[in-house]
Structure 1
């Protein structure tokens, strides 16, 4: 059993870390939060193997709090440990601002020095993370993260202020931070270094972050999902959604209806094509066309249908009988004219995927009847 104490347990990083620690086997967790009495922290320190010291202030109302909290609380922890002959490992969240001559950075650097002295005096492990801008769910807007502020404002249809779009940002995603912290539970101290780094960081600009977030906001209108193979974009998308109000999780989609039924586009992607669903009334046949480059997948979600295909230079007909009783996907290769027919009296629902977005100027759709004669080869 590892006894763990987390200071700043109610903050952005603390909340994410606590959630993870509560799911770790063999961990007994104690949480020290803003407003708790210092005596409670001292009580926790009597029986702890590792301290995640996350408590700190970024934008206090009084600048003296930089010194009293960022340095002062660290000194209080270290003094108590030394006085009571305790040597737990301490993992400390410092900041890249510790390299700069500003009140916040100076207070973080002072706290680092206190921890280094603790190591020199006791030999206890000290792991210092000079974190860049951390972003992710539960981060407080208008506090210490431009990403959190932009997500909050953009998701609530408010204007954002950009003073320098070209300003460089170094960002790190909260889950990457927590993964590294969890590794510290049993990781031995690095030789000749107090400083630890997160394996994955992102270098971007203020303007690029804003642009990506506006593109994410437009997904509900365009249906075009951004390129999520880019990890920064993926993490920004995840983070953005966490700032939506609970009554704004859903959004309506345009429904295209005619005498055959309806069609609704769901998701589009420049990298992965698009997904849409259709309903068809009894006896309705859709398709009777082929594509040169576009390929599709058909999947019947409700009802029963006959999917027919024929290579355009052949008279051989291929017929797949599909239904919701045995969900399967039928691939539609290029050069095969194809159709799907509702063979029930009720409505069918079909999901389609195409490997490219529909381009009305180049639809790659050539109409050709699938069934020129009665030849029929059963498949499936």
Structure 2
């Protein structure tokens, strides 16, 4: 199948093209502003399916709305008709088509043109009135407020929230592309006149701003937000895509002494805390027990001996672990325990505990194994 994508260099276009290639589509006609009329002539003659994504959101002059969103659509349809090409056409419109503003008016005019073309030719047209689409490769101050907030917050720029109670409808780019692939393969979601993307999120502008601000704070408080919430998960993925190239990494506070180091990596109220423990050769750490707090130890480098003794018992239980064979060792409650580096190099252990450390309630009691 030969697939024509107009607006292939835009936000939606780039994501669509990447997924088409992932799925093995190789005959792609990728039309951008850099192409000539002759290119478009050839593409419309040979294509088997059209993704018409080209358009403008925020032009310098209002006249560009009609030029790009209506007149280019007219040109595209004229060329398809000229070549008697009955390829199905998927068109991205906007929920703004319901409103009386220059952008919405141009989108509505483009819709009317498409529907008229379908009536005249019998060609199958798939019109999607998309809400605010967000995701990787979107442009700040152009595609969506999500892009603008992610860009600004990741660079310590101020963000402006004009109306915290303003309600937004958001749609994630991967959900859009998934629906477009379904349409290409003949199974779009359609209700009467318009097609639709199944997953739409509603959020207030103030809540959106706060949530994106919280993503930046995770680097200092080491928290992981609730990724079971689908919108949070998708917004966080989008936020990371806006990180400046020199700020992918961030430092952790290493608590160092002559024995080695202990460094907290992740803290979550729901899933506990993850830390990295480094012990020098011959060093023993631990020798304490817990009422309720429980842990998991995973040695990833070096050789260690984990020892347990139940309170008031004499029997000592030993587990020898090393980085050559990864094993998780559960640390039960009511057992004093320790870990000693019995190797010749640093012992590196990933430690998970079911609750974040609270100095007011440490639930940690010294007792030698």
State the TM bucket, normalised to the shorter chain: over 0.9
Gap runs ≥5 in structure 1: 371-380
Q: Can you list the C-alpha shifts for 1:109-164, whole angstroms capped at 9, x where unaligned?
A: 11111111121122211111111111111100011310100111111111111111
Name the CA distance, whole Å, in 2 between partners of 1:191 and 1:360: 57
Q: Can you list the C-alpha shifts for 1:152-201, whole angstroms capped at 9, x where unaligned?
A: 11111111111111111111111111111111112156777331111111
Once the two structures are TM-superposed, the CA of residue 29 in structure 1 deviates from its matched residue by 0.6
Change (3 A) 1:72 1:26: same
Once the two structures are TM-superposed, the CA of residue 271 in structure 1 deviates from its matched residue by 2.1
Name the CA distance, whole Å, in 1 between partners of 2:81 and 2:230: 43
Name the CA distance, whole Å, in 2 between partners of 1:134 and 1:26: 24
Name the CA distance, whole Å, in 2 between partners of 1:273 and 1:245: 30
* Secondary structure at the counterpart of residue 246 of structure 2: helix
Match of 1:304 in 2: 303
Match of 1:52 in 2: 51
Name the CA distance, whole Å, in 2 between partners of 1:328 and 1:67: 64
Name the CA distance, whole Å, in 2 between partners of 1:188 and 1:205: 32
Change (3 A) 1:231 1:284: same
* 1:161 is aligned to 2:160: yes
Name the CA distance, whole Å, in 1 between partners of 2:21 and 2:86: 23
* 1:331 is aligned to 2:330: yes
Once the two structures are TM-superposed, the CA of residue 89 in structure 1 deviates from its matched residue by 0.7
Q: Relative to structure 2, which stretch is displaced further, 52-61 or 276-285?
A: 276-285
Q: Is the 8 A contact 1:116 1:194 kept in 2?
A: no
Name the CA distance, whole Å, in 2 between partners of 1:233 and 1:190: 25
* 1:182 is aligned to 2:167: no
* 1:138 is aligned to 2:148: no
* 1:95 is aligned to 2:94: yes
Change (3 A) 1:190 1:119: farther
Match of 2:345 in 1: 346
Name the CA distance, whole Å, in 2 between partners of 1:261 and 1:25: 51
Match of 2:207 in 1: 208
Name the CA distance, whole Å, in 1 between partners of 2:359 and 2:38: 70
Query: What is the count of residue pairs matched by the alignment?
Result: 369
* Secondary structure at the counterpart of residue 247 of structure 1: coil
Q: Is the 8 A contact 1:303 1:348 kept in 2?
A: yes
Match of 1:24 in 2: 23
Q: Relative to structure 2, which stretch is displaced further, 82-91 or 188-197?
A: 188-197
Q: Is the 8 A contact 2:44 2:83 kept in 1?
A: no
Q: Is the 8 A contact 1:4 1:51 kept in 2?
A: yes
Change (3 A) 1:152 1:322: same
- Give RMSD over aligned pairs: 1.5
How does the TM-score come out when normalised to structure 1?
0.93
Match of 2:33 in 1: 34
Once the two structures are TM-superposed, the CA of residue 365 in structure 1 deviates from its matched residue by 1.4
Q: Is the 8 A contact 1:125 1:189 kept in 2?
A: no
Gap runs ≥5 in structure 2: none
Q: Can you list the C-alpha shifts for 1:231-266, whole angstroms capped at 9, x where unaligned?
A: 111111111111111111111111101232111111
Q: Is the 8 A contact 2:295 2:351 kept in 1?
A: yes
Q: Is the 8 A contact 1:126 1:194 kept in 2?
A: no
Once the two structures are TM-superposed, the CA of residue 84 in structure 1 deviates from its matched residue by 2.2
Q: Can you list the C-alpha shifts for 1:288-321, whole angstroms capped at 9, x where unaligned?
A: 2222222211011111111112233533321100
Match of 1:374 in 2: none
Q: Is the 8 A contact 2:188 2:195 kept in 1?
A: no
Match of 2:291 in 1: 292
Match of 1:248 in 2: 247
How does the TM-score come out when normalised to structure 2?
0.96
Once the two structures are TM-superposed, the CA of residue 37 in structure 1 deviates from its matched residue by 1.9
Q: Is the 8 A contact 1:288 1:337 kept in 2?
A: yes
